Amino acid sequence: MKLIKKIYSDSHVRYYMFGMMIFSYKPKLLNDGIGNKISVPKDSPVIVRIHGNNNTVIQEDSIYPCYATIILGRTDAPVDNCTIHIGKNCSMGGLAMKLHDDGTTVTIGDDCMFSINERFWPTDMHTIINENGEVTNIGKYIKIGNHVWLGENATICKNTEIADNCIVGTRSVVAGKFPNPNCVLAGNPARVVKQGVNWDRRFPKQYLAATKNNGKKDRKHEK
């Protein structure tokens, strides 16, 4: 009598005995390969599923909730040597990320704030070929700087860089390099619509009240 474990492309783990399925489940952290490293804080809601070898997924500690689903490869198309790194004190309302090319990297800086239903596409799931038969849509990276705010339903495409202190508008589709910090990106495709900005997690009235009180304290101290 032998219990057989099988992992499927939808990341379900199913156990069989005598050819009959006994039970199945979808693990929060799935390591389907060798040499993989998954490091997330205790009780983190981040879901990680890896199909392949020598991949690394790291989430740093955060004082904010961080809801994300990160999927590397499939059982029928594993990926190797990919790296995902989420910086300190990031908040996420439901990021979905899938990788399907070897050697892909995704870097998210510290103190980023992602709204709900963001999509990261560091790689494509289908192939584009030019007239010479060459593949033209290989994805290699996404790089998000520190203190970046992504609005609801934003999509970040392959080979994209966003600098520090930037804001991405709701439903924007970002592709390409945006090396200048303190910008607002918006549209499909996204472009720089404003420069010289920054942002704060507090409501505007809370921020105004805090800065007003700080101003009063400073003036009192000067006297």
41 prior amide bond cis, ω within 30: no
| Predicted local confidence at residue 1, as pLDDT | 59
Give the per-residue pLDDT at 214.
75
Structure confidence at residue 216 (pLDDT): 55
Rounded to 5°, angle at Cα 12 from 8 and 17: 80
In this structure, how many other beta carbons lie within 10 angstroms of the beta carbon of residue 131?
Answer: 5
Mapping DSSP onto H, E and C, the string for 186-201 reads EECCEEEEEECCCCCC
Quote the CA–CA distance of 209 and 57 in Å, as a whole number.
40
**Residues 23-45: pLDDT tens digits?**
787 889 999 999 999 999 999 99
Give the model confidence (pLDDT) of 165-200 as tens digits: 999 999 999 999 999 999 999 999 999 999 999 999
Q: Which residues of the chain have pLDDT under 50?
A: 219, 221-223
What is the predicted pLDDT for the residue at 203? 95
* pLDDT at 215 (0 to 100): 62
- pTM (2 d.p.): 0.88
Q: Identify the structural domains of the chain with CATH numbers, from first to last.
A: 28-222 (2.160.10.10)
